[in-house]
Amino acid sequence: MKAVITGGGTGGHIYPALSIADKLNKRGWEIEYIGCGDSLEEDVLLKTDYSFRSLNVLPLPRKVNLKLFKSIFVSLKAVYSSYKLLKEINPDVVFGTGGYVTGPVLLSGYLSKIPTVIHEQNIYPGVTNKILSYFVNKIAVSNIEASKYFNDRVQDKIIETGNPIREKIVNIKRETGIKKLGLNKDYKTLFIMGGSQGAKTINNAFIESIEKIMDLNNLQVIMITGKRNYKNVINKIESYTNKYNDRLKVMSYLDNIEWAYAAADLIIYRAGATGLAEITGRGLPAILVPYPYSAEGHQKTNAKFMEKENAAVMVEDSKFNGDTLYKLLCEILFNDSRLKEMRQNSKNLAKLDADQNIVDIILDLVREE
């Protein structure tokens, strides 16, 4: 059996896709991944054993301008290129996790009469998946709340599955993460991450408050800045990284992100759906600063849901600064009863069988053919 898997642009689309690829691969399936060339998905896929096929696609601007017409032209060419690729690969199923590369590939799957499945990670669906919902066979959603944002005509296709996360995210022990990162097992650990691309607001808030934070006793910090922000951050806090090199670990990116999740007692994060699935998979309390320009404000919707369940505290991007970070850190990380309650609430939101749920949908579709 053979599957074409697509999704890209951010880790939030790529890693759930790889989770399904791994699950199918264990069952003996052959995997072909289609993504944009010279992209994050290509970088990630080069470190796996899966075949990667590149496609030239452009995002659709949200305003009517010359870029929109160019994007439409390129996307139409991408549909034709995808159609030829699928004829060559001849897969049994096409599975997509979102991002603009997904549109042409899944549409070509529909035109080729190949069973198709999309997965929507966010509570508020992206434009690509909303359009594709009319053509695909099944729509997997991380949270059933997302169903109310799809058209009534496609409701019978929707299945709540959860958001797939890699097994190593959940299974790695705290002791392993602490050891791998050279940290102290007796200290509280704060993990700061702005998503696969980084987040300037979160980085700047830490820079503003670093002196007060590093002055706290028995605290250690893991910070992932994002590759494009790393030099700027290091230039501003280099004296602190030298002074506190035993309990301040600053990196541009971490391939073994599971180490940081395992070591953490509290995370400061944006509110991308895949990161939240990983956070709840670990049962981590969170301070969430949703990206204010996310499509249709989906990150704010995600964060509000986590806050409503008392698994996280949400702060608007415009209001998040060094003082806010420091105040919340003291209120949560050093309040053991609150930390414990948030940890349990976070764990209660986890859907650890999400990858199997999606694989079951794929297997059922293939059996029907």
In which domain, by residue range, is 62 found?
A: 2-165+352-368
Q: Are residues 72 and 183 in the same domain?
A: no
Is residue 233 within 8 Å of 251, Cβ to Cβ? no
pTM (two decimals): 0.84
Helix (H) or strand (E) holding 354: helix 354-368
Predicted confidence at residue 178, as pLDDT, reads: 98
Greatest CA separation for the chain = 63
Q: Are residues 342 and 198 in the same domain?
A: yes
Number of domains comprising the chain: 2
Q: What is the DSSP letter of 252?
A: S
Q: Are residues 174 and 150 in the same domain?
A: no
pLDDT by residue, tens only, the chain of 369 residues: 999 999 988 888 999 999 999 999 999 999 999 999 889 999 999 999 999 999 998 776 556 566 766 777 777 899 999 999 999 999 999 999 988 899 999 999 999 999 999 999 988 888 889 999 999 999 999 999 899 999 999 999 999 999 999 889 999 999 999 999 999 999 999 999 986 566 899 999 999 999 999 999 999 999 999 988 999 999 999 999 999 999 999 999 998 999 999 999 999 999 988 899 999 999 999 999 999 988 778 899 999 999 999 999 999 999 999 999 999 999 999 999 999 999 999 999 999 999 999 999 999 999 876
Predicted confidence at residue 137, as pLDDT, reads: 98
Q: What is the DSSP letter of 294?
A: S
Helix (H) or strand (E) holding 173: none
Closest CA to 182 of 251, 273, 89: 251
Q: Are residues 275 and 160 in the same domain?
A: no
Q: Are residues 209 and 286 in the same domain?
A: yes
Tokens of 237: 């806090």
Q: For residues 327 and 301, what is the distance between their CA atoms, to the nearest angstrom?
A: 24
Q: Are residues 188 and 314 in the same domain?
A: yes
Q: Are residues 116 and 203 in the same domain?
A: no
Q: Are residues 60 and 46 in the same domain?
A: yes
Q: Are residues 17 and 70 in the same domain?
A: yes
Q: Are residues 176 and 201 in the same domain?
A: yes
Tokens of 66: 């010359």
Predicted confidence at residue 318, as pLDDT, reads: 96
Q: Are residues 322 and 362 in the same domain?
A: no
Is residue 124 within 8 Å of 149, Cβ to Cβ? yes
CATH of the domain at 183: 3.40.50.2000
Q: Are residues 128 and 11 in the same domain?
A: yes
